[in-house]
Structure 1
């Protein structure tokens, strides 16, 4: 009887702990997409890292901590050196989760985004564009249904000069495919990544502007 009671207690405690994890993660993820301050995003990254320390077997807390660091570079007119400091922090987190979860398409998609944001001047273009392309290829192989694969590939092509095989015209098919996938994708797990749709839409709009000029 004692054994049965112990098993029931452990099962109830585990369920409650899991529910608390999911609730906290969902709250932080929702908050992430409302913030437009680098300082606030860096603070939120710290919160995700604290969750990661308590949930060592899960990759999503460190994933979102890294994404917060990357996203923080989008705001407050951050200087290039400051951006690379945040991207270095993000890279450490990506490296950490890749060691134990190298079969996750989303992690390689995040790595590709990180490489793209590294291009803060023309001297970094060729190096990081190629690295991004390689990460995108792995992300696609792991999950060809991941819309961020085609958004990131389209973004990479869009920002590559025409004489190197890039430009809006060549980017458009991937961006259109991503847009269709973003629209039709059913999100069954609220903790899974959803980023990319808004910027993908902006790039498609720019493609249309180029065509009309």
Structure 2
């Protein structure tokens, strides 16, 4: 009888702990998309890192920490050196994820995004565009139903000069495919990534102008 009670207490404790994790993650993920300053996103990245340190068997906290550091470069007047400093923090987290979750499509999609944001001047274009392309291929191989694959490929093509095989016309098919997949492929797990849809629509709109 004592053994049964102990088992029940362990199960209840584990369930409550899991529920608390999911609740905290959901709150922070919702907050992520409402923040529009670099400083706030860096604070949130640190919160996700703390969750990751406490939940070392879960990959999403460090994933979102890295995404916060990447997203922090979207706002404010940040010079190139400051951007790369934030991207270095994101890369360190992505490197960890690559070691533990190299079979996860979303990790490679995040790596591709990071490479794309590294292109802060023309001298970095060829190097990081190629690296992003390789990461996108890996993300597609692992999950061809991931809409971020086609959004990122379309974005890569859109920002590649026409004389190198890029441009809006070439990017449009991938962006259209991504738009359909963003609409139809809704994740069943509320903690899974959903980013990319808004920018995809913006790029698609520019293609159609």
Q: What is the TM-score of this pair, normalised by structure 1?
A: 0.98
Deviation track 1:89-130 (CA, whole Å, cap 9, x = no partner) reads 000000011101100000000000000000000000000000
> Where does residue 18 of structure 2 map in the other structure?
18
Verify: 1:39 aligned to 2:39, yes or no.
Answer: yes
The Cα of 1:55 is off from its aligned counterpart by: 0.2
> Where does residue 67 of structure 1 map in the other structure?
67
> Where does residue 196 of structure 1 map in the other structure?
196
- Distance in 1 (alpha carbons) for counterparts of 2:160 and 2:52: 36
Cα root mean square deviation, aligned = 0.4
SS at 2:103 equivalent = coil
How many residue pairs get aligned? The number is: 209
The Cα of 1:187 is off from its aligned counterpart by: 2.3
Q: Can you give the 5+ residue segments of structure 2 that lack an aligned partner in the other structure?
A: none
- Distance in 2 (alpha carbons) for counterparts of 1:11 and 1:86: 40
Deviation track 1:109-165 (CA, whole Å, cap 9, x = no partner) reads 000000000000000000000000000000000000000000000000000000000
> Where does residue 140 of structure 1 map in the other structure?
140
- Distance in 1 (alpha carbons) for counterparts of 2:4 and 2:100: 34
- Distance in 1 (alpha carbons) for counterparts of 2:193 and 2:151: 14
Q: Can you give the 5+ residue segments of structure 1 that lack an aligned partner in the other structure?
A: none
> Where does residue 48 of structure 1 map in the other structure?
48
> Where does residue 179 of structure 2 map in the other structure?
179
SS at 1:73 equivalent = helix
Deviation track 1:49-69 (CA, whole Å, cap 9, x = no partner) reads 000000000000000000000
> Where does residue 155 of structure 1 map in the other structure?
155
Q: Which runs of 4+ in 1 moved over 3 A?
A: none
> Where does residue 208 of structure 2 map in the other structure?
208
> Where does residue 91 of structure 1 map in the other structure?
91
